[in-house]
Structures are given as structure tokens and as C-alpha cells.
Amino acid sequence: MLESAKYPVRVQTSHLIFWWARLGGLNGVPKLGHAKETRTMWVRDGSNTELSWQIPANTDPNEAENRRVRFAIDPFHPETGLRLAGGGIIDWLWGEGGMGLIDHEGTKEWKDKMEKWLFPNLPSSTTPVPGCHYAVALDLEPDGLIGLKQYYLPPRPRGAHASYEDANGIQVTMTNHQGDLEPLRPLLKELNPALEAPFDVMRDYVNGPGEPSKLKFLVVACDLVPDNKNRLKIYYFPLAQHTFKDVLRDMTLDGKLNGPVIDEAMDKLRLFYKCLFPNNSDDDLLQPLDGGVGGLSYYYELIPGHPLPCPKVYFDMSNYGENDLQTTQAVEAFFAAVGKPNAQPGWYSESMQRAFSHRPLGKRAGIQTGVTFGLKPSGKWQITGYMSTEVFAEERGEGGPPQDELIKEFYDIYVG
């Protein structure tokens, strides 16, 4: 991936050394977990590292630094296979574990406040909260520095499909799949009171015109950057199946986001959707192909000084797609249509196949997980691709089960 993005060789070497020196062990034991305590919820095939790259529309795939490479890890202990607390991992990387490569322009103040708000009596950031899932995210910059981000997916509430009967006495301010968003307000006041304005717009949409989408809180996240550059990210999972019209409503907050720049961006979203789902009309429901519960999610960025939230929609093509090659070719078709320089057929598919050579992309879906369409504060749009490492795939020759068995077990563990 770093080669396809054409990072300088020195920087590629630095990032790879950092991975092996600091992060390899966080992938846990080389054995698939079969319980909530030992298996990630982020990727259905059991891989607890998800890679991604941001793909600009104005860069030539052959030019230097043509896309940004990132990844996120749900950390597990290399000997016990049990989940590690993401907050403690971030603290370590920010300090002695950073090898001088972590971007310290900002602070981790937002992360610390967010963790304290979510788990008020947490004894230590190194204490894993039962039922909580973490993501330690790293942005690999072309200059060799590494940016950090922290994600918390808190436990489910007690009752049907609860993550755990309790959290071992640890208080949880907000559970995932929760509908009431008001518990977030004290956090907003603590981080930056200017976050309340976009929050109110988001809340009013979710509880009003967006009610048919049945958006339920899932994840809260922030960056480790200067306060004036930070954003609070609120993720949602819709309990209702969606049509394109539903997606359009969620992305514009039923018209709250409007104007010529937004209209142009929504035209691009429609084109992107048509490339991914060429047989769907605006009124056709998105249909998961693996017998699961869906493959759509959203986040809304809350940014100080920006009165409206900035949305992003995730289409999980490991769930919706026929195979990875069709998806990568759909991404190519979209970028060709919007005039990406030198976007020759195969530029994206070939870079994906080089990075994930353990099987042909056309065999099935699973490597390309999310493909996303997001809006920035300017109203400009951005495409990001997410990839599973498929570490337990049967094609790797390590005795892994077939993909359909991996997915079925995931749903057995987390849905019941």
C-alpha cells in the first residue's frame, strides 16, 4: 500500500519498522477468537487490523504521495489473546512507545476527557472495560510522522444481545445502540462548548426527520491534534434498511446541509452509489448478501466553530458486494467519471491485488470492506477505501475456515 501510494522509500522503511517494533504484538495470538473477549467486532472475518487509504480526486495514481495510508487496530494481548484497553495503548504510543515518530503538534487532552466521560470510575486507562471495543488508529504521513486517533465502541445495554451482564463495576455513561444522545452534552461542554451547535443540529435530525433511518449511537472518537483542529466523531448504525433516498436524507440532514457546493457533492454521491450498485434505483433497498443485518453506517463530525455536522456514509462492500474486483472496478469507474488524472482501467484494482495477494479479488467479497463518501466543512467530498487483512482466510493456507463460516460465527457471537 505504501508503494502504491508512492511514499518516499525512507518513509516506507520507517513506517514498517515502527509497525514491527511497536504494533505487531497488538494483533494478539495467531488463532481466531471464538468469544467476545477474544474476537474483534470491527471486521467480521476476525481480523483486528483494518487498513485504509484516502483517495483524492485530483492526484495521478503515478505521482508521489498520491493517497494517504492509515490503519486501525483493535488491540489484543500477544500471549493471552485477551483484549487490551485502547486508551492505555494510546498513552503508551504518545509517550515512551512512540520512537520519536508520533506527531506531537497537538495533545491527547480530548482523548483523556472523552475516556473519563465515558467511564467515570475507570481505575486506569490500561483497564479494559468488559464489552467495550477499541480502535487505535494511526495515520501514516508521507513525511514519516504518525498521527493518532482513538475510538471507543462502548458495551451494549443489558438485555437482548448485551455484550456482558455488567462491566465489572465500571460505570458506562453511554451504551452502544442507545437512542438518547443527551448524555453527550456534558462531554461537549468539557471539550469545547462550540460543539453544542452542530450537536443540536445532529440530534434534532436523528430524533426528527431522520427517525425512519433508526440511527443508533455506536462509537465516539477523536484525534490527537491541536484543540482547534480536532473533531468529535459520532458513529451510528441504522436499524432500518436504506434506499438511496434514505442515504441522501441522512447525508444532508433532510436539507439542513444545502447550497450549490452541497448539491454538487450530492450529485457525486449519486454517481458513486450508481457505480457501486448499478442495478439499484433510488427506491431500492440495499440488500446484504451474506445473510447478515446490514452493511451501512454513518458518522457525523462535530467541529468547533462549524455550526453544522459533517457527515460520512460507509458502504460495507464485504457485505453488499458480489466480489472485491467488482467493487474496485466500481471505484475506478467513479474516479474516471469525475476526471481523476490518468485514471486508467486497473489502477485501483491492481494496487489492491498487489497489497492483498493471498487470493484473486474476483473470487469473493471480503478484502474491500468499507468504501465511504464524506463531506468536509467546505462541503467538498472525499472517498476512502477500507480493507481487511483477512488474516484467517482459508486462502492463506493456515487452516482457516471458509469465509461463510467466519461470518456465521461472527453473527452467532455478536447477534445471537
Asked which of 81-85, 174-178, 184-188 is least confident by mean pLDDT, the reply is 174-178
342 pLDDT above the threshold of 90: yes
**Stretch 61-65: mean pLDDT:** 97
Across all residues in the chain, what is the average pLDDT?
94
* pLDDT at residue number 416: 63
Q: Flag whether 316 is in a domain.
A: yes
Q: How confident is the model at residue 77 (pLDDT cuts 50, 70, 90)?
A: very high
Q: What is the 3-state secondary structure (H, E, C) of 186-247?
A: HHHHHHCHHHHHHHHHHHHHHHCCCHHHCEEEEEEEEECCCHHHCCEEEEEEECCCCCHHHH
Q: How far apart are the first and last CA of the chain?
A: 36
* pLDDT at residue number 162: 43
Instruction: Please indicate, yes or no, whether the overall pTM of this predicted structure exceeds 0.85.
Output: yes
* pLDDT at residue number 178: 87
Residue 400 · residue 389 · CB < 8 Å:
no
Q: Flag whether 160 is in a domain.
A: yes
* pLDDT at residue number 85: 98
* pLDDT at residue number 232: 99
Q: Flag whether 1 is in a domain.
A: no
d(CA 199, CA 234): 10
165 pLDDT above the threshold of 50: no
Q: Flag whether 3 is in a domain.
A: no
Give kind and range of the element (H or E) at residue 373.
strand 368-375
pLDDT digits (tens, 9 = 90+) for 222-245: 999 999 999 999 999 999 999 999
Q: Flag whether 261 is in a domain.
A: yes
Residue 94 · residue 224 · CB < 8 Å:
yes
pLDDT digits (tens, 9 = 90+) for 43-53: 999 999 999 99
Residues of the chain with pLDDT > 90, as a percent, come to: 88
Residue 252 · residue 262 · CB < 8 Å:
yes
**Stretch 383-411: mean pLDDT:** 93
pLDDT digits (tens, 9 = 90+) for 303-315: 999 999 999 999 9
* pLDDT at residue number 167: 63
Where are the strands (E) in 112-182, listed by range? 133-140, 146-153
Q: How confident is the model at residue 157 (pLDDT cuts 50, 70, 90)?
A: confident
Structural domain span for residue 374: 9-414
Q: How many domains does the chain contain in total?
A: 1
* pLDDT at residue number 58: 97
Q: Flag whether 4 is in a domain.
A: no
Half-sphere exposure of 99 (CA within 13 A, CB side): 14
pLDDT digits (tens, 9 = 90+) for 181-215: 999 999 999 999 999 999 999 999 999 999 999 99
Q: CA distances (Å), 109 to each of 105, 166, 227, in order?
A: 12, 28, 8
Q: CA distances (Å), 177 to each of 160, 396, 416, in order?
A: 12, 35, 16
372 pLDDT above the threshold of 60: yes
* pLDDT at residue number 293: 66
Residues 10, 12, 13, 15: what is their CA dihedral angle, to the nearest 10 degrees? 120
Q: Flag whether 51 is in a domain.
A: yes
411 pLDDT above the threshold of 70: yes
d(CA 19, CA 22): 6
180 pLDDT above the threshold of 70: yes
